[in-house]
Structure 1
Amino acid sequence: MRWRRLVLGAAGGLAGAGVIVAGLALRDGPAEPAPAASAGTPPRTVRSTAPPRPAAAPPAPRPTGSVRIAAVGDVVMGTLPDDLPPDDGASFFDPVQDLLTGDVVLGNLEGTLTTGGTSKCDDDSTHCFAFNAPPSYGRWFKKAGFTVMNLANNHIDDFGAEGRRQTFAALRAADLPFTGRAGQITLQRVHGLRVAVLGFAPDEGSADLTDLPAAKRLTARAAAMADIVVVTMHAGAEGADHTHVEPGTEYFLGEDRGDAHRFSRAVIDAGADLVVGSGPHVMRGMEFYRGRLIAYSLGNFAGYKVFGLGGILSTSGVLDVTLHADGTYASGRLHPTELVPPGTPEPGGDGIDLVAGLSQEDFGPHAARIADDGTIRHP
């Protein structure tokens, strides 16, 4: 089937009058010639019925500015009924509050805020831990400077559905957003920029860290909605023997704790700009992948009477990163902190040396370069 284009009008008549000439498509057969105008008869004016073309929209301006992000690892303010900090927790974060500054301040809430539900642990269990601080403690996270809490971990279900419900309600009552539930994208607007925060863990009800195609889809959705995407992961085996990022899937007490290395790179491929880890309860190294920083674990930031203390179990830090508006890395620093018995966070400790060494050992040419003052640079 052939298509021909027919041009209407007499040569010189329509063109000289500035008339829009419409292009028509004819099917089957040659185009019919336009009838000639009779002598003394002015040419007929032809008007197009096609709407005028809209002017091309100017390109959207590229976002400008930057976003400062502070992140910490696992946070537990104690557990009912007896292992709670003095003055009802009001001053718990005071020693480190100056470090919890940024446009986005992120922590992993390793437990629940509930007085209800049923503990997942039997009374005589020696390898099961369930944490529940009072719901009123939500306000102390807000007071400390946190802007979003990650709930993608293995402790949000410590007290079942009722424990989850009360935790969600406590954070909402404190006007403190949370992230990490299946399919959840938490957005925060900063200086006119949209920042998406996502949390992943290998635990039921959380955005699934072990399902890489689904994790990439969720990250890509977030990248389409936001200027900057921050991913937090709860991944890896636990304890002093697990400071290194092992290749492949890690297991702990028979549980699949995910492949932190593969996951981190997958979500960066899908649009993440920063990946921050928690879960091993010790610090791990940092690397850059495609220009994006991955901090594999920031250790135990706070754990009143709930964590083992001493040495690297007490070593932690605050990751302080600034990203450009397009998500690229601008600058960063690790502020060392430590857990002081019975589990209160304070500035200090050996976190910088620990992470600098682990980074070089585990990632070689991709390792983040960490200076003596904690400054983090590209390799």
Structure 2
Amino acid sequence: YAQHLKDAGFHLLNQANNHGYDYGPKGYANTQKALEAVGLKHTGAKGQITLVDVQGIKVAVLGFSSYPRDNSLIDIAAAKAVVQKAAALATVVVIQVHWGAEGADQTHVKPGTEMFLGENRGDPIAFSHAVIDAGADLIIGHGPHTLRAMEVYKGRLIAYSLGNFAGGKGLKGEGNLGWGGVLKATVNSEGALVAGHFASTYYNTHPGVPMPDPQNRGLNLMRDLSKQDFPSSGARFSVSGEISTL
């Protein structure tokens, strides 16, 4: 699958999530070897800061989750420390984070800690604002299996969840669980959002292959959620998916 991911246009993948250790440390390491064998970078291990060059700009990418093997989104003080270290190494710092409760009804972002199956899945708002204060420039959230709002905090974009992009073998695609999207964000040399675009995608449970959504269901949902959950700081979307601040 690693070669397929590369052929599809991926460059870097985040291992900080609830399934990263499904096959234990050997499976985790084998995943890294498979990615590296085809030239793909990875991030997400505790203390790991992955550096990449994007159009001549040094970018640091870090993965976070609620699990002790990864950079922790629960320990906000530790998260701020590793982000500060990354900010000293790169011009732009990007955070990939697995957080939040899961399910079709978990579309809204609310202040406070989110729980799922007895697990502390973090406080997405508190974490995001704290790491941006520490030097992060772009935050990409995953985990709830549904789209969530986008917020602009101190000029930095926070995508609280991009939903499900692809499925297959058990990852349901009915209703909003099959809605996702591709986010393009452009930041300036200071890391602040300059422009962005969200393109809606969808998939059916079988075969779980993502396709462009001509109905723009994901975009319409994200537009509404951003207004509802962040009336004064939510990202704003044009009918074609262009992203702007207020």
Q: TM-score range by the shorter chain?
A: over 0.9
Q: Deviations over 1:175-207 (max 9, x none)?
A: 100001100000001232100001100012110
Query: Which of 221, 231, 239 is the aligned partner of 1:354?
Result: 221
1:140 aligns with 2:4: yes
TM-score, normalised relative to structure 2: 0.97
Alignment of 1:166-315 (within 5 A): 166-315=30-179
Mapped partners of 1:231, 1:240: distance in 2: 24
Alignment of 1:50-129 (within 5 A): none
1:373 aligns with 2:240: yes
SS of residue in 2 equivalent to 1:366: coil
Mapped partners of 1:207, 1:231: distance in 2: 11
Alignment of 1:300-339 (within 5 A): 300-339=164-203
Gaps of 5+ in 1: 1-136
Which range moves more in the overlay, 308-317 or 278-287?
308-317
Q: Deviations over 1:192-236 (max 9, x none)?
A: 210000110001211011000110011011111101111111010
Percent identical pairs in the alignment equals 49
Mapped partners of 1:170, 1:231: distance in 2: 23
Q: Deviations over 1:307-330 (max 9, x none)?
A: 122111011100111111221211
SS of residue in 2 equivalent to 1:358: helix
Mapped partners of 1:194, 1:165: distance in 2: 26
Contact 1:151 1:180 in 2 (8 A): yes
Mapped partners of 1:363, 1:223: distance in 2: 27
Query: Which of 210, 231, 245 is the aligned partner of 1:345?
Result: 210
Q: Would you say how many aligned residue pairs link Structure 1 and Structure 2?
A: 243
Contact 2:64 2:97 in 1 (8 A): yes
Mapped partners of 2:139, 2:49: distance in 1: 15
Q: Deviations over 1:343-371 (max 9, x none)?
A: 11001140110000001110111111111
Q: Deviations over 1:68-98 (max 9, x none)?
A: xxxxxxxxxxxxxxxxxxxxxxxxxxxxxxx
Correspondence for 1:71: none
SS of residue in 2 equivalent to 1:344: coil
Correspondence for 2:15: 151
| Structure with bigger gyration radius | 1
Q: Deviations over 1:20-64 (max 9, x none)?
A: xxxxxxxxxxxxxxxxxxxxxxxxxxxxxxxxxxxxxxxxxxxxx
Q: What is the one-letter code of the residue matched to 2:201?
A: T
Q: What is the one-letter code of the residue matched to 1:203?
A: Y
Gaps of 5+ in 2: none
Q: What is the one-letter code of the residue matched to 1:339?
A: Y
Q: How far apart are 1:174 and its partner, in Å?
A: 1.3
Q: How far apart are 1:247 and its partner, in Å?
A: 1.4
Q: What is the one-letter code of the residue matched to 1:345?
A: P
Which range moves more in the overlay, 293-302 or 188-197?
188-197
Mapped partners of 1:205, 1:174: distance in 2: 25
SS of residue in 1 equivalent to 2:232: helix
Q: What is the one-letter code of the residue matched to 1:371?
A: S
Contact 2:45 2:71 in 1 (8 A): yes
Contact 1:340 1:346 in 2 (8 A): no
Mapped partners of 1:268, 1:323: distance in 2: 14
Q: What is the one-letter code of the residue matched to 1:176?
A: L
Q: What is the one-letter code of the residue matched to 1:374?
A: G
Q: Deviations over 1:257-312 (max 9, x none)?
A: 00011000011000111111000000000111001110000011011122122111
Mapped partners of 2:37, 2:23: distance in 1: 20
Contact 2:178 2:205 in 1 (8 A): no
SS of residue in 1 equivalent to 2:111: coil
Mapped partners of 1:328, 1:289: distance in 2: 10
Q: What is the one-letter code of the residue matched to 1:250?
A: E
Mapped partners of 1:333, 1:217: distance in 2: 31
Structure 1 outlier segments of 4+, above 6 Å: none
Q: Deviations over 1:125-160 (max 9, x none)?
A: xxxxxxxxxxxx111111111110011101011111
